[in-house]
Structure 1
Amino acid sequence: MTQIVVLGAGVIGLTTAIELKKSNPGFQITIVGHHLPGDIDQSYTSPYAGANWASFATSEDRRLQEFDKPAYKKFIQLAETDPRAGVWKVNTVSYYTNYAVAKAKGKMSEFLPWYRNFVDDFKVVEPSKPDIAFANSYTGVVISVPTYLKFLVQQNKELGNVIARIPLIADIGEARNLTAVGKKADYVINAGGLRASSLKGVEDKKFNFPVKGQTLLVKNNIKDMISVSGFPGLDDEILYMMPRVEGGTIIGGCFRAGDKDPKEDKDLTARLIRRAMKYAPEIVDPRYKKNPKQVEVVRVNVGFRPFREDGFRVEVDKKKKWLVHAYGAGGGGYQGSYGVARELVKIIDSEVTSRPKF
């Protein structure tokens, strides 16, 4: 029986383990992580996500497009068929300010995403605010990550995969000894997120770096999933607002490369609240879902996204043929999860059939 250790219990690791087991029920899969769903730690990225589906791929980046495509269809399916997942369909509106359009020198094509012919109900819409120059909308999804991560855990358990908490390891070779049955793993999938490239024995010529994000979980509700791009002098900030199926809204955020400060930026919190009231005024309207008259913050989340130069690393290690890498998701872990998982299934199937055990 092929023994596989998945190192990392974030959305990529959990999804990959499910897809691997479904592809070959004979695989013995052990998912190990220093942090597991339910934990809150700034180095454990998955619980801090919004999350939604809005591919970051450019029109030329076909590789990332192919990683992102499967999750859109899967999340729409889950929203329609399985309430346990914590996923729901939401009208998704992207706004671009006058500043954003001026910065693009009026090239409106830059604001038409590659997925306009892929997602449901995509259309250009009339801007609703005087400072908005362009807007589009489509049928999107919002994922309540605490619910969804537990859903992934439950699926793994039902399939027979084992999930175990481990101390931090320093060398990727240690992961081979972490199978649930005590045998040495035939394959290790390195889905370790922020620590994936820093482990001894992992060589990566590309630059890996954390990018700080800050979000607010608030009690208030809004109608649509919205994003607003283009705030003068604040190119590392964007407003995004994600209404959760159980109520409440996630408000973000920022993309601060090189900022390692784990503390809340209170000025950013204040800006996010002001922007939320401006672009989704129903958030403080008691007539809409009995909202409070002010934005009531439940929790401020500060986390660090695992970015990698050139994006996802999904490949067999050049020197260690038992090691398969799956990291570098940046801010696209949820929307890339199924595409990456399915690519890993192809890789492992190919390795199992073409190579002897090591």
Structure 2
Amino acid sequence: MKNSERVVVIGAGVAGLTSALQLSKKGYDVTIVAKFVPGDYDIEYTSPWAGANWMSFVKDNERLANYDRITYDVFQKLVKECPDAGIWPRRCITYVRQEDLDKQSDILGGLLDARPWFADVVGNFTTLDPSTLPKGYCQGIAYDSVCINVQVYLPWLQSQCFANGVKLKVVTLKHIKEAMHLHSSGYKADLIVNCTGLQASKLGGVMDPKVYPGRGQTVLVRNHAPAMYSVSGTVDGDDELTYIMSRPGGGTILGGCYQKGNWNGTIDPNLAQRIIRRALEICPDLEKDFPLDIVRHNVGLRPSREGGPRVELEYMEGVGKVVHNYGAGGAGYQSSYGMADHVVELVDLALME
């Protein structure tokens, strides 16, 4: 790889940082330009608000399954080799209600299958005996997965970028073409990688009308859950979810909801109470040692996109070569390395021409 091949990555969320890291490993001269960086908290900066874990909901989509497959393998390696990354091995358990079996859902996807696509990818996949399930559930699965403490992982990911020579500029862009002149070398970039998430709907030159927020609300508690849990549906509405993620370093995330098109960053106290009620119903062990102890309530906006994530090469008039990587929605972490590797393939292709 030639040192003269300069790449500017827009965005310092999990997509931007992972793309920059993988590009730097290939020898590209990478500069990240971003409005927000790890340590910042803003409703526009989606990555710090994530749960986050690996729980694939892909169904009948080989491209997205491959993203998740690649990322699962990387996370397993990081668990063993990088204890400072904030990734923790956890058992993941999914319960399915009878009334949800025939649903077609982008949110639930393959989780409704008795044997989802990833059964042969994850460790220790098990179909649960129906007699062992909580009341009201007809099937369940369990497998080895991971939970990620994003407050640890994002700074760690940034540090890996810096160790590989990636530079960072804190900048607010109005148009994508501005990024071409922001490479740390002072020279024009050869290519831009667009990892702007929700801002892809607002950034000049991109303005993708398919991008929308998937509002999520969670409750962080000090209590410990013995595993990660998810369920197929709730009695409280189709846009509400039940999931539990016990985090590396302590505490547990209780969720949640997926409110399509909702940009509201304000906490809904009634929703919070429903989240807590559902979590205790599925995992009463949360209160085994002490009553529920709330640390804080969170709202985050998943950077979703109609038709799924956009990972593609575009030749933009007045800008040049652009590789897009945005729109992963709730799969931003669990797809991150697979999507970033696809970005590297597209950058290689574009810069060989």
> Does the pair score TM above 0.5?
yes
Partner of 2:240: 237
Partners of 1:231 and 1:263 lie apart in 2 by 22
* Matching residue within 301, 304, 307 for 1:304: 301
Secondary structure of the residue aligned to 1:334 is coil
SS at match of 1:335: coil
CA distance in 2 between counterparts of 1:112 and 1:237 reads 24
Whole-Å separation in 2 of the counterparts to 1:109 and 1:311? 19
Q: Deviation digits for residues 23-68 of structure 1, max 9, x if unmatched? A: 12xx22111110100111111110111111111210x211111111
- Under a length normalisation based on structure 1, what TM-score does the superposition of the two structures give? 0.91
Q: For each residue in 1:172-201, what CA deviation from the matched residue of structure 2 results, as whole angstroms up to 9, or x when unmatched?
A: 101111111221111111101111232121
SS at match of 1:88: strand
CA distance in 2, matches of 1:232, 1:296: 25
Instruction: Please give the per-residue CA displacement for 1:227-249, whole angstroms capped at 9, x wherever unaligned.
Output: 11221351111111111120100
User: What displacement does 1:4 show?
Assistant: 0.8
Kindly indicate whether residue 210 of structure 2 is the aligned counterpart of residue 207 of structure 1. yes
- Residue in 1 that maps onto 2:108: none
Output one character per residue of 1:85-135: Cα deviation in whole Å (capped at 9) or x when no partner: 11011111001124324768xxx9734321112111111113431112111
- The match for 2:56 is 55
Distance 1:72 1:232 in 2: 31
8 Å CA contact 1:100–1:229 kept in 2: the answer is yes
After TM superposition, the structure 1 = structure 2 runs for residues 162-241 of structure 1, keeping only pairs within 5 Å, are: 162-166=167-171, 168-202=172-206, 204=208, 207-241=210-244
Q: Is the contact made by 2:219 and 2:272 (CA closer than 8 Å) also made in structure 1?
A: yes
Contact 2:87-2:248 at 8 Å conserved across structures:
yes
Ranges in structure 1 where 5+ consecutive residues have no aligned partner: 287-291
Matches of 1:334 and 1:73 in 2, distance apart?
A: 13
Are positions 1:251 and 2:254 aligned together?
A: yes
2:142 pairs with 1:143 = no
Is the contact made by 1:99 and 1:231 (CA closer than 8 Å) also made in structure 2? Answer: no
* Shift in CA distance, 271/109, structure 1 to aligned 2, threshold 3 Å: closer
In 2, Cα distance between equivalents of 1:75 and 1:65: 15
Measure how far apart 1:319 and its partner are: 3.3
2:40 is matched with 39
Cα distance change, pair 103–330 in 1 and its aligned pair in 2 (3 A): closer
1:130 pairs, out of 129, 135, 138, with 135
Q: Which runs of 5+ in 2 are unaligned?
A: 105-110
Aligned residues: CA RMSD = 1.8
Cα pair 2:17 2:161 within 8 Å, conserved: yes
1:323 maps onto 2:327 in alignment: no
Aligned counterparts, 1:64-143, within 5 A = 64-101=64-101, 110-126=113-129, 127-143=132-148
